[in-house]
Amino acid sequence: MSQIDFAIVGGGWRSKFYLRIARALPAQFKVCGMVVRDESKGQIIENKWGVSTYRNIDQLLKEKSPDFVVVAVSWSAAPKISIELAKRKIAILSETPPAPDLEGLIELYNLLQEYEARYQVAEQYHLQPLHAVRIGIVDSGLLGDQINQVQISVCHDYHAISLIRKFLGIKFENVKISAQKFETPLIAGPDFEGNPEIKQEKISEQTIATLDFGDKMALYDFSDDQYFSWIRDLRLLIRGERGEINNKRVKYLKDFKTPVEFDLKRMNAGEDGNLEGYYLKGILAGKDWIYKNPFIPGRITDDEIAIASCLKKMSSFVEGGKRFYSFAEAAQDHYLSLLIKESIDKNRTVESRQQPWAEQ
């Protein structure tokens, strides 16, 4: 496979994921340049990562010809940057969400249609190894013909909605949402700045929402500290009429009187004296390899494996392949996450309405 040559607009924390992936897997990925408006910040990036930076898109495109451009800027800035690239017929891989609110989503949808943009979204959670395995088990029918319930506490907002839709097999069906927010005390743990230096109590904000799709339902439960917390674990339950996945345990009926169960087991190189390196090898389901890491021997996290998968899928899309996470999917996921917030603010159940992008 030839090297994927892409550029980035934005120099924030999310762009660092792409830089780390390119550094860990140089035969597969190359960041040919970055648009960073602040010259001093751009110089820091050049010194640390060895990547050329530019102050605007025109400067970048004058010197470079990327396969596509990753838009990794703020919610408010992303639509404008995406349209600038679409006008130039540059393929776009946008970070989530595509726009900050429903009005912005509809406006961006219309403009992307007008410019016939080659546009996909870097929603990565369904491509993380464990979630990819769970989706594969669901799609195999092992748990039954229809998944009817998901209880999810592994990620926030539109990320969680994306997983809910994929586990339940939901596309753009309308949903009734009832949500509440709770505040509880918590001893502070790590955050974006690193580990805590002193003992400190904080307020933890937890959102719980039910999503009623009629014959299918989801329970969303997430606290704003779960990504980093040492004491607030991630949880996931997926249920069909023949079985369920509870975190890493899979139970199902071979026939009505024969229950079967197995665990999803991560297999890593570099443990217990192994000298292959240190990376995820794959995931075993009982005695069978159900997932093999496509980015061996890169020493990258599960989230980076998923983002690298987005990059590969985007390269295939640009070359004429199929969509992997379209604007329509991303917009629907963000729209439903906005309705969760609306339900909290209004203290009542709200119901979604079909939006223009559902026509795709």
Q: Residue 1: is its pLDDT beyond 70?
A: no
Report the C-alpha gap between 325 and 223 in whole angstroms.
Answer: 26
Comparison of pLDDT for 32 and 197, the residue scoring more: 32
> What is the predicted pLDDT for the residue at 191?
85
Report the C-alpha gap between 146 and 102 in whole angstroms.
Answer: 30
Closest CA to 53 of 5, 4, 7: 7
Report residue 169 as tokens. Answer: 């097999």
Cis omega (within 30 of 0) on the bond before 297? Answer: yes
Per DSSP, helices labelled H in the chain are: 15-24, 39-49, 57-63, 78-87, 102-114, 129-140, 157-168, 302-318, 327-346
Report the C-alpha gap between 218 and 220 in whole angstroms.
Answer: 6
Looking at the DSSP bridge assignments, the partners of residue 267 are: 282
Report the C-alpha gap between 30 and 25 in whole angstroms.
Answer: 8
If you average pLDDT over every residue of the chain, what do you get? 95
Using 50, 70 and 90 to split pLDDT, how confident is the model at 96? confident
Cα 146 from chain centroid (whole Å): 24
**Domains defined along the chain, listed by start:** 4-122 (3.40.50.720), 126-301 (3.30.360)
Q: Residue 326: is its pLDDT beyond 90?
A: yes
Report the C-alpha gap between 250 and 143 in whole angstroms.
Answer: 9
3-state DSSP: the chain helix, strand, coil percent, rounded to 5?
35, 30, 35
Q: Is the dihedral of CA 235, 238, 239, 243 positive or negative?
A: negative
Contact (Cβ atoms closer than 8 angstroms) between residue 15 and residue 34: yes
> What is the predicted pLDDT for the residue at 192?
82
> What is the percent of the chain with per-residue pLDDT over 70, rounded to a whole number?
99
Using 50, 70 and 90 to split pLDDT, how confident is the model at 24? very high
Cα Rg of the chain (Å, integer):
21
> What is the predicted pLDDT for the residue at 359?
76
- Strand 68-71 vs strand 92-94: parallel, antiparallel, or unpaired? parallel
Q: How many residues does the chain have?
A: 360
Lowest mean pLDDT among 21-25, 191-195, 264-268: 191-195
> What is the predicted pLDDT for the residue at 2?
85
For range 224-251, the mean pLDDT? 95
* Three-class SS state of 125: helix
327-346 vs 157-168: helix axis angle to the nearest 10?
110
Contact (Cβ atoms closer than 8 angstroms) between residue 333 and residue 121: no
For range 32-36, the mean pLDDT? 97
Q: What is the pTM of this model?
A: 0.95
> What is the predicted pLDDT for the residue at 49?
97
pLDDT digits (tens, 9 = 90+) for 137-186: 999 999 999 999 999 999 999 999 999 999 999 999 999 999 999 999 99
